[in-house]
């Protein structure tokens, strides 16, 4: 089964896994944007910086 989803990965068994990081402060289903040096939540403004 080929999937063209951008937020989830669907396995052959039908198991669904999210591809994006979820915000720890917001409710489930709120995903963070991935920038070159950080992850940022557009809803609450929570930011995590990537380590080198």
Report the C-alpha gap between 23 and 40 in whole angstroms.
8
What pLDDT does 29 receive? 86
Task: Please count the structural domains in the chain.
Answer: 1
Domain presence at residue 13: no
pLDDT tens digits for range 4-51: 667 788 889 989 888 899 999 999 889 999 999 999 999 999 999 999
Range of the domain at 38: 23-52
DSSP string, 1-52: -----SSEEE-TT--EEESSPBPSSS-TT-B-EE-SSEEE-TTT--EEEPP-
Question: Considering the domain boundaries, does residue 31 fall inside one?
Answer: yes
- pTM higher than the cut 0.85: no
Report if residue 8 sits inside a domain: no
In a domain, 16, yes or no: no
């Amino acid at each position: 089964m080929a999937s063209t989803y951008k937020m989830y990965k669907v396995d052959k068994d039908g198991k669904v896994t999210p591809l994006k990081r979820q915000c720890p402060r917001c409710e489930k289903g709120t995903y963070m944007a991935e920038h070159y040096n950080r992850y940022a939540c557009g809803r609450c403004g929570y930011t995590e910086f990537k380590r080198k």
